[in-house]
Structure 1
Amino acid sequence: MQPNEELRHSDVESLLSSKPKMLNSPGDTLKCSSKHHNLLLRLIDDFIFISTSKEVAESFFARMRRGFKAYNCYMNLDKFGLNFNVENPPPSQRFFTGADGLRFIPWSGLLINCETLEIQADYTRYWGAHISSSITFKAGDKPGRTLKKKLCDYMRPKCHPLFYDSNINSQAIVSLNAYQAFLLSAMKFHCYLRAMESSSRQSWTYIFDKILLSLRLIKKRMHELGDRLSIKPVLKLNNADVVWLGLYAYIKVLKKKQSRYGELIYLLKGKIAKHRVDDASPHLRYAVDDSHSSMFWKIKY
């Protein structure tokens, strides 16, 4: 299945996400035709079923909805979503809709676009609590000297090829995924620096250099994971664009705390002004459009 080519340019008829307690269905089979493409994924007790056939998707949904009496196992009606109409639909479905009007089904830390099947990271889990609650310190650490490691740690989980592979996502979504990863990193960076004692903090030039190093992690991690998992991800976003997106994200986040970071923002703005990219490129304009990252402005930092 090639969501980036076949499905994005056709009507994706069915996408279903649900959270039953198990996937054992003895005596029941789905009627799948070789004319259709079907994909069923499971991560622990989270299932997602994608099909180009509405009939097959309806069959899967009906089976999950009936449950498995022999095992006292039933679908959790509070944690599911589907992007097609069914008779007698349950009263609520789990979706995320951003300020741009795009609708996503959340699944296992991902947001899956209901129309294109493009994949983004789900940052809504950071809602409701201050992001500093996700920051850890080790006793005896010297914060200034561990800054580089911390910045890389903040980026690493969001450097998976799934978000940047052009076989899966368009260049606009790849750019958006990079930008959002940098937004989160910048928010965590602020919380980490705020927790430092001023006496242990390094110079702004030192901190600026560590930020620049962290902006180059995406491509490196993609190659490392690609080699380890024997996959061949394609990153069409060039290094200059990645760094520009990172600088833009840090400036965006730190400007809201401007009184603390005047000198650092000056260094970041000076770097982005000298950075040779075409910031009028459609994929970069799309990435930094606030409407596509509206979930971030509900995060407390």
Structure 2
Amino acid sequence: IVSTVGSKPPMYDSMVGKVIFVKAKYAGALLNQNAVLFKNKNNSIQIILSNIFNTKRYVEFIESIYRGNANQASITLEELFKFQIPLPPLPEQGAIAEALSDADAWIESLEQLIAKKRLIKQGAMQELLTPKEDWEVKKLGEMSIIYTGKKNNQDKIENGSYPFFVRSQTVERINSYSFDGEAILIPGEGNLGSIVHYINGKFDFHQRVYKISDFIGSNGKYLYWYFRMYFGNHAMQNTVKATVDSIRLPTLQEFKIQYPSLTEQTHIATILSDMDAELEALEGQLGKARKVKQGMMQELLTGRVRLV
């Protein structure tokens, strides 16, 4: 199915010309007036076409034929049908389709495994971080030192020597460091609660990023996971409404932490960190699988490599 309408390119944001491969179980489903169904009795050709429609050559073709204004772009079937598709002999079509389908199955299996592991980790966080009767309660300001950095975004340096924490999930680089040790870092505005960083080493940080460190009677990694679980609600309930949501130092200092013994904190942090490491490894495998599939498409769909 091809979408003939979408927002104006850049293409990575726009739905115009985007293609999805619909499995047989969805046959007969209703189509929007801006969606076009392409169907061929030869399943191999359908698989090959769905992959060709995800190549750079196809994207560049759509960029060359779309029409529209600042808000919306569209393509006509007359123009779309001018796209030329190289096809090998039938036996080779089947071999290419099989190879690409195997790659898709590999990617899909990793995606499903990652989704399952994420749910398991979420359940483990819920179980391990739910306060028990014998847990203690303290305010964050009583068990750590909190202050913001002195740097701005323009201080970042590509390939710098040290991590530089700014107000985003992306960790930049810089050639200076203002702290050396274990710390949790959160932005003071925007995406409150959804961005929490942990580090143990040398780093620098933005003037609107809070550094929480020098933990008293608490495991830093445990606090990190506790923040991941509970800080978002606290932040949004106490946010200062301005251009973007922001949080002030006193509100952060008043955040209540419920915690078990230091030994149990360490145990909880280790379990969750191990699960996180497993997820990160799987996501790395998924990234490699997608690159392998992309390489296969470049070779098989251009005729550089022949399978028959």
Higher Rg: 2
Query: TM-score w.r.t. structure 2 length?
Result: 0.28
Query: TM-score w.r.t. structure 1 length?
Result: 0.29
